[in-house]
């Protein structure tokens, strides 16, 4: 059973999310709160598998809550950020903090369920289109040479894989572009993340932009 914590200051939103989640035989909502500090407290008490956190909440925002939850070594909780996108300016920062993904509040229920199940299996939810939009708006592309140099630990093939990851492409898309088997891509992706000390694919996207290797409007972005 996947145990989920909901944090949103709008009761109707929480009710709707609870109904969608608990209609599934493998998901249960163990806590429902309206602010960041309560999300942190309930996470410590319940140790849910997944926390769905709104960004904008009273008393303490979802970003602060995400950082506190993810930095607690006693918790195995994965965090998914809920956002309206146009208003939430801290989504990229949440991903940098270690969140397993983000969803628009307008997302179809199937996407919500997929996100929860993906996160609980230790994988990240990476929507290429939304990732590109976020980076276009918020990433500064500093071109940090230290970050760029850190990528030198990769082999030529791993560097190719990293650049594809940083563009938000899936394993299947990378396999098609590089003319290799998807299982081979999966092996390379694991090696790239390990060598660069990255928790997941989302952090690879962020590193690509922060290092300046990828930049908004890149002509090779899909």
Asked if pLDDT for residue 46 goes beyond 60, the answer is yes
Which tens digit of pLDDT belongs to each residue from 187-217?
999 999 999 988 777 778 778 877 777 765 5
The token pair that represents 19 in the structure block: 């109904």
Q: Is 215 a domain residue? A: no
Q: What pLDDT sits at residue 216?
A: 57
Looking at the fold, whether 28 and 117 belong to one and the same domain comes out as: yes
Looking at the fold, whether 33 and 110 belong to one and the same domain comes out as: yes
> By residue range, what is the domain housing residue 15?
2-125
Q: What is the mean pLDDT of the chain?
A: 82
Q: Is 135 a domain residue? A: no
Total number of domains in the chain: 2
For position 70, which CATH number holds? 3.40.50.2300
Q: Is 219 a domain residue? A: no
Model confidence band, residue 222 (pLDDT cutoffs 50, 70, 90): very low
Whether 55 contacts 13, CB under 8 Å: no
Looking at the fold, whether 108 and 165 belong to one and the same domain comes out as: no
Looking at the fold, whether 32 and 95 belong to one and the same domain comes out as: yes
Please state, in angstroms and rounded to a whole number, the distance separating the CA atoms of residues 131 and 86. 13
Model confidence band, residue 78 (pLDDT cutoffs 50, 70, 90): very high
Is 192 strand, coil or helix?
helix
Q: Is 150 a domain residue? A: yes
Domain finish residue from 100, 125, 150: 125
Q: Which of 51, 129, 158 is nearest to 94 (CA)?
A: 51
Q: What pLDDT sits at residue 172?
A: 83
Domain finish residue from 125, 159, 194: 125
For position 201, which CATH number holds? 1.10.10.10
pTM value is: 0.68
Asked if pLDDT for residue 16 goes beyond 60, the answer is yes
The three state secondary structure string of 44-61 is HHHCCCEEEEECCCCCCC
Whether 62 contacts 87, CB under 8 Å: no
Q: Is 216 a domain residue? A: no
Looking at the fold, whether 71 and 7 belong to one and the same domain comes out as: yes
* DSSP assignment letter at 199: S
Looking at the fold, whether 147 and 108 belong to one and the same domain comes out as: no
Q: Is 134 a domain residue? A: no
Looking at the fold, whether 36 and 109 belong to one and the same domain comes out as: yes
Looking at the fold, whether 111 and 204 belong to one and the same domain comes out as: no
Q: Is 29 a domain residue? A: yes
Looking at the fold, whether 156 and 58 belong to one and the same domain comes out as: no
CA angle 82/105/37 to nearest 5° reads 35
């Amino acid at each position: 059973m996947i145990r989920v914590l909901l944090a949103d200051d709008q009761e109707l939103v929480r009710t709707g999310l609870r109904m969608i989640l608990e209609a599934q035989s493998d998901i249960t909502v163990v806590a429902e709160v309206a602010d960041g500090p309560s999300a942190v407290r309930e996470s410590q008490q319940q140790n849910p598998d997944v926390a769905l956190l709104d960004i904008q909440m009273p008393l303490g925002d979802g970003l602060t809550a995400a950082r506190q939850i993810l930095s607690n070594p006693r918790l195995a909780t994965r965090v998914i950020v809920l956002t309206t996108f146009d208003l939430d300016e801290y989504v990229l920062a949440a991903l940098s903090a270690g969140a397993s993904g983000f969803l628009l509040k307008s997302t179809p229920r199937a996407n919500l369920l997929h996100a929860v199940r993906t996160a609980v299996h230790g994988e990240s939810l990476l929507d290429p289109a939304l990732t590109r939009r976020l980076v276009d708006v918020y990433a500064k592309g500093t071109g940090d040479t230290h970050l760029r140099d850190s990528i030198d630990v990769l082999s030529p093939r791993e560097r190719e894989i990293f650049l594809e990851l940083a563009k938000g492409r899936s394993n299947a898309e990378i396999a098609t572009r590089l003319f290799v088997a998807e299982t081979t891509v999966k092996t390379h992706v694991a090696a790239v993340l390990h060598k660069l000390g990255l928790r997941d694919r989302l952090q690879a996207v962020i590193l690509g932009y922060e290092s300046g290797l990828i930049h908004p409007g890149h002509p090779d972005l899909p």
